[in-house]
Each structure stands twice: as C-alpha cells, then as structure tokens.
Amino acid sequence: MRGLMNKLLSRSLSVAGKWQQQQLRRLNIHEYQGADLMNKYGINVPKGVAVSTIDEVKEAVKSAFPNESELVVKSQILAGGRGLGTFQNGFKGGVHIVKADQVEDIAGKMLGQILVTKQTGPQGKVVSKVYLCEKLSLVNEMYFAITLDRKTAGPLIIACSKGGTSIEDLAEKYPDMIIKVPVDVFKGITDEDAARVVDGLAPKVADRNDSIEQVKKLYMLFCERDCTLLEINPLAETSSNQLVAADAKLNFDDNAAFRQKEIFALRDPSQEDPREVAAAKADLNYIGLDGEIGCMVNGAGLAMATMDIIKLHGGTPANFLDVGGNASEGQVVEAFKILTSDDKVKAILVNIFGGIMKCDVIASGIVNAAKQVALKVPVVVRLEGTNVDQGKRILKESGMTLITAEDLDDAAEKAVKAASK
C-alpha cells in the first residue's frame, strides 16, 4: 500500500508541477510592444520599428533609418530562443544583423513563416511581424529582472554583472555574481535599493546616478502596470556610455486586466493555443497537454486527481479542463467542442462531483454536445453528487452510447482501456 501511495504521490507532484507551470496564465507581449512601453517610462531602448509587410519594411528603412548602414532584423514571436531557431522553410535564425540593403530580403524570409525554437515545440509559431532595430555598439552585457517573490511577499530584483545568456546558465556559471534585492512593496524602491542593484550590475562605463534612475523607472513600470515579470537580457552598456534595455520580456497579471485595458489590448491570440483562446472566451479553465485522454472535470483539485489516476493506470491526460462550479449547458457544449478538436484525443473522461455544479446540467450539456459535435471517440462518464439521479436518467434516455463508471478509479481504468483500442 505504501508503495502504491508513493507511486501516486510521485506522479501527482510531476503532473502538478507541469500543470502549475502552464496554468499560471500571464499576458505575454511582443518585444516591440515591451520596448514601446519602456520608452514611455523614460527607459533607454534601441530605436526600432515593427513591420508586417515588405512595403512597410521598405518604408521603415527609408524613413526611420536613413543613415544606418546595418540593422537588426528580429522575428516577433512569443517564445525564447529565436536567434537559434529554424524556420519551417529552412531559413535559419530568427534574429539577424544585416546590411541595410539586405533587410528587405531577410524580412521576406521571416514574415508569414513558422519559426521553430526550443520553446515553441515542433509546431513552431507564425511570424506576423518583424522588428527592425538600430545596431548598437555594446561594450558590456548584464542581466536584470524583477519578479514576485513568495518568501519576501513582494517584488524581487535580480541582477548579474554578466548577461546575454539564460539566467539558468548564468546561475550555473556565475552563482556568486547574482544578487537579489527584495523591495518593500509598501515603501517602494529606495535610492539604497537601487544603488545595491547597480552595484550588482557593476556597469563599466554608464554613469552611476543615471543607472540608479533607470532601475527606479523599471521598478515603477513593474508596479504601475501590474507586471509579474520584467526581464532584460541583456541590459547593455553602449559605446556612448548609456545603459540600454537591449532585449526585454514583460509578463502581466491576468487579474489586472480590468484596470490595464491598454496593456491587455496588446494580446496576440495568434501566438496562443487556439483551444485555450476558445476556452477563455467560454470562461473555461483549459490547458492543452500531450496525452490521449481528454478530461472534463469540475474543480481544479478534482481535475488534478483525475489526471493523476489516469497516469496511475498507464494513460496520459490530453488536457486540464475545469468547467468550474457554475457552468451552463452552453459551456459544457463548448468544452466538448474543444476536447474533440484535438486529433490526439482517443477517449474522453467526464468526471463530475456535483456540489454547486449540478449533475443534470452536465448531463444535458453532454447530450446537446453530442447533437452538435460528431463524437467519434468513446466517452466515459462518472457522475456523483447533486441531482445525480436526474443526470443519469438524462443520459440514459438520450440513447447515447456511453461508458458509465461508479467511481474515479473505475472511470480512469475504463478511459485508459477505451483509448488503447
């Protein structure tokens, strides 16, 4: 028994970790959008123009960079590793430094193409815009970030005098060079806090006082715009002795959407999983995974348990889908549409423990979904709780071919068996 519990706990932690990593839905904006936002706060950024067509590329080179001999052409996708990525058309690299007369050709090989990086997965992401930037003469590269820290219950500034590579690599190679400066969320950043950060960055040519002001402006942006992450890598020094945010990533708290309408209007649905976009519109909590058993459950805890039991019986969940406690029939129908749109799904497991969510509402939603969606895979249903008898009667009278289960373990076992046929 202890061995079974240890096995279940191990898998639970594994799935939970993956779920938590993906469930924290944070708005992620493109590099050019982040640069524009930082510029509004007086933060030094390279001069740049985002373009989406070849005609716009020609106009930008002519009007914005008339005296530049070289430019940086950056593909805009919401994923890291662009520089080392490969386009599905065979073109290598999502970031290029080129002569001004070559910009049009390089941009043409990126626009409208799919870029695959280590963070996109094999399916890649479409490049709808490229960002044309001035080429800076950098003399030093550092790392800077602000995030939220559970331990100090507030913002935490992370700085390193080395930059230009991932923070994971920096932590491995230069652990003693990374400093962390917690900021009192009630007092805000002080001159002393900012000075400690600058000391950790150890700029070589940039003015110390100017650098302190830049750090304070970055903190102001982080707080005023409800960021969950502000990462600049590299934070660079130029040959003109200026501190510049050469490349930045900004994430924003979804819970702040009501007061950050300008920011959330920047969301790019083309960069997101279309199933998650559809789920968000239907007010459903959905995260796509890589398995073969589609799950529809009410409540995050029960959803996690369902995924764990599926793994325990040798299957793999295709998603996390929580319909919540107040789902309507329409939302249940939409949930089925999302589940059946995934070609990898070989079986669907509906696991409802009715409390606020009533079993008869779920049952009616399943029946209506079957009328609107061609259910080509087996459906295993386990209902328990409020109005369970009415729910079972609705399903029975519908004439649908369903696999019923008495408890969660039975349901998971039947779903794995059905998916393997």
356 annotated among ligand-binding-site residues: yes
Q: Which one of the listed residues 31, 231, 237, 276 is annotated catalytic?
A: 231
276 annotated among ligand-binding-site residues: no
In angstroms, rounded to a whole number, what is the distance separating the alpha carbons of residues 316 and 321?
14
156 near 146, Cβ under 8 Å?
yes
The average pLDDT across 338-343 equals 87
252 near 228, Cβ under 8 Å?
yes
27 near 226, Cβ under 8 Å?
no
Average pLDDT value for the chain: 88
Which residues make Cβ contacts (< 8 Å) with residue 318, sequence separation at least 6?
288, 289, 290, 291, 292, 293, 294, 295, 339, 342, 344, 345
Q: What is the model's pLDDT at position 18?
A: 43
The average pLDDT across 229-244 equals 94
Active site residue 41: no
Model confidence over 83-98: pLDDT tens digits? 889 999 999 999 999 9
The average pLDDT across 73-78 equals 95
Model confidence over 253-267: pLDDT tens digits? 989 999 999 999 999
Burial of 192 by CB count in 10 Å (0-12 exposed, 13-18 middle, 19+ buried)?
exposed
247 annotated among ligand-binding-site residues: yes
What one-letter code names the amino acid at 53?
T
In angstroms, rounded to a whole number, what is the distance separating the alpha carbons of residues 323 and 99?
53
28 annotated among ligand-binding-site residues: no
Burial of 101 by CB count in 10 Å (0-12 exposed, 13-18 middle, 19+ buried)?
exposed
| Residue in the block written with tokens 């895979």 | 377
97 annotated among ligand-binding-site residues: no
Range with lowest mean pLDDT among 226-230, 276-280, 342-346: 276-280
In angstroms, rounded to a whole number, what is the distance separating the alpha carbons of residues 108 and 112?
8
357 annotated among ligand-binding-site residues: yes
Among 153-157, 265-269, 274-278, 300-304, which range has the highest average pLDDT?
A: 153-157
DSSP per-residue codes, 190-234? -HHHHHHHHHHH--SSS-HHHHHHHHHHHHHHHHHTTEEEEEEEE
Active site residue 143: yes
At 25, the pLDDT band (50, 70, 90 cuts) reads: low
307 annotated among ligand-binding-site residues: no
Model confidence over 187-200: pLDDT tens digits? 999 999 999 999 99
Q: What is the model's pLDDT at position 216?
A: 98
In angstroms, rounded to a whole number, what is the distance separating the alpha carbons of residues 402 and 243?
64
Around Cβ 204, how many Cβ atoms within 10 Å? 11
150 annotated among ligand-binding-site residues: no
Which residues make Cβ contacts (< 8 Å) with residue 372, sequence separation at least 6?
333, 337
Which residues make Cβ contacts (< 8 Å) with residue 253, sequence separation at least 6?
26, 27, 226, 227, 228
The average pLDDT across 285-299 equals 88
Paired with 403 in beta bridges are: 380
Residue 9 has pLDDT above 90, yes or no: no
Model confidence over 27-49: pLDDT tens digits? 899 999 999 999 999 999 999 99
Q: Which one of the listed residues 131, 143, 219, 286 is annotated catalytic?
A: 143
Cis amide bond preceding 122, omega within 30: no
112 annotated among ligand-binding-site residues: no
What one-letter code names the amino acid at 356?
I
Q: What is the model's pLDDT at position 186?
A: 93
Q: What is the model's pLDDT at position 170?
A: 82
In angstroms, rounded to a whole number, what is the distance separating the alpha carbons of residues 370 and 355?
24
Q: In what order do the strands lie in the sheet with 48-51?
A: 48-51, 129-134, 70-76, 95-99
Q: Which helix (H) or strand (E) holds 55?
A: helix 54-64
Around Cβ 288, how many Cβ atoms within 10 Å? 18
141 annotated among ligand-binding-site residues: yes
Strands (E), 86-213: 86-87, 95-99, 114-116, 125-126, 129-134, 138-149, 154-160, 178-182
Residue 151 has pLDDT above 80, yes or no: yes
In angstroms, rounded to a whole number, what is the distance separating the alpha carbons of residues 263 and 27?
9
277 near 269, Cβ under 8 Å?
yes
272 annotated among ligand-binding-site residues: no
Chain-centre distance for alpha carbon 402: 35
SS3 299: coil
Any idea what DSSP says for residue 64? H
The average pLDDT across 351-360 equals 81
